[in-house]
């Protein structure tokens, strides 16, 4: 009996010590967080006022753009200091906005002897994937991004260019039509359907990539996922478990439809791979199967692979569609639109005759004005107010100004303000289609490196910067350049009504989903 009591005493003592250690660690963590926030100025808040702070958090839903703009000019530019941005996005009620001078931090390794940080939580929570995809392995073990790194780099574009060129032609003919009379279309959907179809030719191959039911399902899923994520982020984290199941109903419905269509195809492709067939398709789905197999038999599950393909619909369809659609609207809505289109057409005709056609990466790479037109649109028509999220998972990161940031604090960069800063770009709010190509026009033997769509710099950040710059940017760039060149050569387009004024919902710039355009095939 004595031994039993002694054993019980040891067990209880051990649990007691563990509990005390947990309390001490929690208290230390809260103290360190308090030290971080105490050193920061909070934009949009009266000093020391908690009522003002909660008001700023609520205000951020519709005024994040204005709050970041205020903080950028008061703290980032004038003092080169980080500032706290109130937001409903994170549990702490604020994120730390780092000044542009800290962008080089993104080039350092994710793990050092002092700390470890990651961009994954910010990306996942932007679209709130946990409320839509119930298998966390899909967004925690991102094997599909490894496929992008291995199979969609610059060296792979020559192989993919004729495939996407063929699909661009067929998609425009089927969706925009071959009639030489004007017809009115929803501009966002018209551009999105073309991009969706061409992207999925590479994602899942023929004939499924042309299945109208699948294409519409995937497009609706990508749109509802982004919209749903933006709405969920407008609610405090404590309420999301109530709100999210309702908000994500639409996205989960389209996800289930997409997966149900894909699973039989994935199962067939797995059999192709197991049989070692030489005639296996050359597309993303087939590339992914051996990479999943190396991770273990559980990763070779057809439903899990289908969900991985689903998770790529947002970067492959929504993001590329966002840029392409805005570029079309930026060009046709600019004062110099007519001259820009004439100059683009001259380049496309000249390059097509030289190579011939635009079905090789070499010919697409020669479209410098097309490239500049898209890059400029990415600069002025950002998808978000802030970006390049980083969360520290262990240790502390030195961000300057005597500040070290540990776990529990999300850091972001004011990317939109960086892109619209007059110190970085002349007349930055003007859409200047040839801003990046003009310096090289009629200059022979110029050995300066051009700033292309795929070039990331501390002042051009749509594709990220440093170690986590978008690995699929060469594919996205080539696809958009082929699509824009085809449109310029083969269609006339006019905007219907007034240009759409851009608005932000929390951190997301709302896309022009209702814009109308008139199009007709050129004769």
Residue from 298, 290, 294 nearest 273 by CA: 290
For the cut 70, the answer to whether the pLDDT of residue 31 exceeds it is no
**Would you say 95 and 57 are in contact if contact means Cβ atoms under 8 Å apart?**
no
The mean-pLDDT minimum among 63-77, 244-258, 269-283 falls in 269-283
Of the pLDDT bands very low, low, confident and very high (cuts 50, 70, 90), residue 51 is low
For the cut 50, the answer to whether the pLDDT of residue 27 exceeds it is no
Residue from 26, 125, 89 nearest 97 by CA: 89
By three-state DSSP, how is residue 140 classified?
helix
- Residue 212 tokens, joined: 């109208």
**Would you say 473 and 455 are in contact if contact means Cβ atoms under 8 Å apart?**
no
**Would you say 337 and 293 are in contact if contact means Cβ atoms under 8 Å apart?**
no
Of the pLDDT bands very low, low, confident and very high (cuts 50, 70, 90), residue 97 is very high
- Residue 314 tokens, joined: 């947002």
Q: How far apart are alpha carbons 70 and 297 in whole angstroms?
A: 52
For the cut 60, the answer to whether the pLDDT of residue 22 exceeds it is no
Measured at the CA of 196, the angle between CA 290 and CA 502, to 5 degrees, comes to: 125
Q: What is the mean pLDDT of residues 328-333?
A: 95
Q: How far apart are alpha carbons 51 and 84 in whole angstroms?
A: 16
Span 231-251, pLDDT tens digits? 999 998 989 999 999 999 999
DSSP class of 145: H
Q: Of residues 58 and 489, which shows the higher confidence score?
A: 489
Of the pLDDT bands very low, low, confident and very high (cuts 50, 70, 90), residue 429 is very high
pLDDT at 168 (0 to 100): 98
Q: Of residues 305 and 19, which shows the higher confidence score?
A: 305
**Which segment, 80-94, 111-125, 419-433, is predicted with the most confidence on average?**
419-433
Of the pLDDT bands very low, low, confident and very high (cuts 50, 70, 90), residue 348 is very high
**Would you say 196 and 322 are in contact if contact means Cβ atoms under 8 Å apart?**
no
What average pLDDT does the structure give for the chain? Answer: 89
CA torsion angle 460 463 464 466 (round to 10)? -90
- Residue 136 tokens, joined: 């966390």
**Would you say 433 and 331 are in contact if contact means Cβ atoms under 8 Å apart?**
yes
Of the pLDDT bands very low, low, confident and very high (cuts 50, 70, 90), residue 474 is very high
Residue with tokens 């749109």: 223
Which strand (E) or helix (H) includes residue 212?
helix 212-232
Measured at the CA of 317, the angle between CA 314 and CA 319, to 5 degrees, comes to: 70
**Would you say 288 and 146 are in contact if contact means Cβ atoms under 8 Å apart?**
no
CB atoms within 10 A of CB 276: 7
Three-class secondary structure assignment of 314-327: HHHHHHHHHHHHHH
- Residue 289 tokens, joined: 């199967």
Longest dimension (CA), the chain: 99
Q: What is the mean pLDDT of residues 399-422?
A: 93
Global pTM value: 0.91
For the cut 80, the answer to whether the pLDDT of residue 306 exceeds it is yes
Of the pLDDT bands very low, low, confident and very high (cuts 50, 70, 90), residue 29 is very low
DSSP class of 210: G
Of the pLDDT bands very low, low, confident and very high (cuts 50, 70, 90), residue 444 is low
pLDDT at 396 (0 to 100): 92
Q: What is the mean pLDDT of residues 319-347?
A: 95
Which strand (E) or helix (H) includes residue 289?
helix 284-294
The mean-pLDDT minimum among 42-56, 61-75, 118-132, 322-336 falls in 42-56
Of the pLDDT bands very low, low, confident and very high (cuts 50, 70, 90), residue 182 is very high
pLDDT at 50 (0 to 100): 62
Q: What is the mean pLDDT of residues 412-435?
A: 97
pLDDT at 447 (0 to 100): 61
For the cut 50, the answer to whether the pLDDT of residue 206 exceeds it is yes
Of the pLDDT bands very low, low, confident and very high (cuts 50, 70, 90), residue 15 is very low
Q: What is the mean pLDDT of residues 323-341?
A: 95
Q: How far apart are alpha carbons 51 and 59 in whole angstroms?
A: 12
pLDDT at 55 (0 to 100): 83
CB atoms within 10 A of CB 103: 19
Q: How far apart are alpha carbons 217 and 211 in whole angstroms?
A: 10
């Amino acid at each position: 009996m004595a031994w039993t009591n002694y054993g019980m005493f040891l067990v209880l003592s051990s649990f007691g010590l563990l509990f005390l250690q947990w309390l001490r660690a929690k208290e230390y963590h809260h103290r360190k967080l308090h030290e971080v926030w105490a050193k920061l100025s909070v934009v949009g808040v009266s000093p020391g006022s908690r009522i003002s702070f909660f008001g700023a958090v609520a205000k951020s839903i519709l005024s994040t753009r204005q709050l970041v703009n205020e903080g950028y000019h008061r703290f980032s530019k004038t003092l080169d200091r980080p500032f706290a941005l109130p937001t409903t996005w994170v549990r702490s009620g604020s994120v730390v906005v780092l000044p542009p001078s800290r962008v080089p931090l993104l080039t350092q390794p994710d793990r050092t002897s002092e700390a470890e940080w990651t961009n994954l939580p910010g990306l996942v929570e932007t679209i709130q994937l946990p409320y839509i995809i119930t298998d966390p392995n899909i967004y925690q073990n991102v094997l599909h991004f490894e496929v992008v790194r291995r199979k969609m780099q610059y060296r792979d574009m020559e192989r993919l260019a004729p495939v996407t060129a063929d699909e661009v032609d067929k998609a425009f003919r089927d969706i925009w039509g071959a009639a030489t009379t004007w017809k009115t279309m929803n501009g966002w959907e018209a551009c999105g359907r073309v991009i969706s179809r061409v992207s999925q030719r590479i994602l899942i191959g023929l004939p499924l990539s042309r299945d109208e039911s699948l294409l519409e399902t995937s497009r609706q899923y990508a749109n509802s996922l982004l919209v749903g994520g933006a709405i969920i982020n407008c609610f405090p984290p404590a309420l999301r478990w109530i709100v999210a199941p309702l908000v994500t109903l639409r996205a989960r419905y389209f996800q289930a439809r997409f997966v149900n269509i894909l699973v039989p195809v994935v199962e067939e492709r797995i059999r192709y791979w197991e049989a070692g067939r030489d005639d296996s398709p050359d597309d993303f789905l087939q590339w992914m199967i051996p990479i999943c197999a190396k991770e273990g038999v559980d990763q070779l599950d057809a439903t899990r692979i289908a969900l991985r393909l689903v998770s790529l619909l947002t970067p492959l369809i929504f993001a590329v569609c966002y840029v392409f659609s805005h570029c079309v609207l930026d060009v046709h809505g600019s004062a110099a639109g007519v001259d820009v289109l004439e100059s683009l057409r001259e380049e496309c005709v000249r390059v097509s005759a030289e190579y011939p056609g635009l079905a090789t990466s070499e010919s697409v790479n020669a479209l410098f004005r097309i490239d500049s037109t898209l890059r400029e649109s990415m600069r002025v028509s950002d998808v978000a107010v802030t970006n390049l999220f980083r969360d520290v998972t262990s240790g502390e990161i030195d961000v300057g100004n005597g500040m070290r940031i540990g776990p529990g604090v999300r850091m972001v960069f004011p990317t939109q303000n960086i892109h619209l800063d007059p110190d970085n770009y002349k007349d930055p709010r003007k859409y200047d289609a040839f801003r990046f190509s003009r310096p090289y026009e009629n200059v022979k033997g110029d050995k300066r490196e051009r700033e292309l769509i795929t070039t990331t710099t501390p002042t051009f950040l749509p594709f990220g910067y440093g170690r986590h710059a978008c690995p699929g940017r060469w594919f996205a760039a080539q696809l958009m350049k082929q699509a824009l060149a085809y449109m310029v050569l083969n269609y006339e387009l006019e905007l219907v009504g007034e240009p759409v004024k851009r608005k932000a919902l929390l951190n997301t710039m709302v896309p022009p989903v209702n814009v109308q355009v008139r199009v007709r095939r050129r004769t």
